[in-house]
Amino acid sequence: MAEPESLPGPSSALIRDRLIEAAVQEFGERGYDRARVQDIARRAGLSTGAIYGNFRNKAELLAEAVDFGLASASRKLGEALDRGAGPAGVLEMITTDLSDPRRRMWAPLISEALAAARRDAEVARRVHNALRRVEHHVTELVALAQRDGSFAADVDAASCARLVLCVSIGVDILTSLNVEGPDRDSWVTAMHRLFAAFTNR
């Protein structure tokens, strides 16, 4: 009688995704220095060997977690464009969307990554590259908004992208420190006024 075939295990890509998602939570809750690889593995339901089979060290895992979070944010912007949102509206969404519950999880991670980047050259390189990719994406959105006439043509696209990135990261840092901010409606109104200075509305 033939032996029953064993069920296939999770794919390598799925294992990496589970580890990264667990790392996002662990780094956000415990901080980079206090987070332990065995706790990340346990949270993912995997062994410590799974981490070292996919990542060289904790620093690389942190950098991958940042990449994962930023890539998810970029996909969200792309989906908004696909649904018909104009480029200018998508840009405004970056700084006004404070209701996304994932921001509470993401904010401590970006704060920890920025702090770790000051101490670890590899983390610094990876975080720098990830932020540059996001800034480039936002610059392209500004240029697209200028081409469709919704953004003023005399606005420097790269400078506007840097402003958007600074506001977004600033909100994340303050959120990670549990600094109480203005109510959502007041914040959205302020951001609308800010973006009105750049648009042709």
Query: pLDDT tens digits, residue range 6-45?
Result: 334 567 888 998 999 899 888 888 888 888 999 999 999 9
What would the pLDDT profile of 51-73 be if each residue is shown by its tens digit?
Answer: 999 988 888 888 888 888 777 77
On whether residue 33 sits in a domain, the answer given is no
What range defines the domain where residue 102 resides? 63-196
Q: What total number of domains does the chain contain?
A: 1
The residue-averaged pLDDT of 132-136 equals 90
- Which residues, in sequence order, are CB contacts of 122 under 8 Å at separation 6+? 59, 60, 63
Is the distance from CB of 62 to CB of 116 less than 8 angstroms? yes
54 lies in a domain? no
Residue 106 has pLDDT above 70, yes or no: yes
Q: What pLDDT, on a 0 to 100 scale, did the predictor assign at position 22?
A: 92
Residue 69 falls inside a structural domain? yes
**What pTM did the predictor assign?**
0.77
Instruction: Give domain status of residue 83, yes or no.
Output: yes
Crossing angle between the packed helical segments 58-82 and 87-96, to the nearest 10 degrees: 130
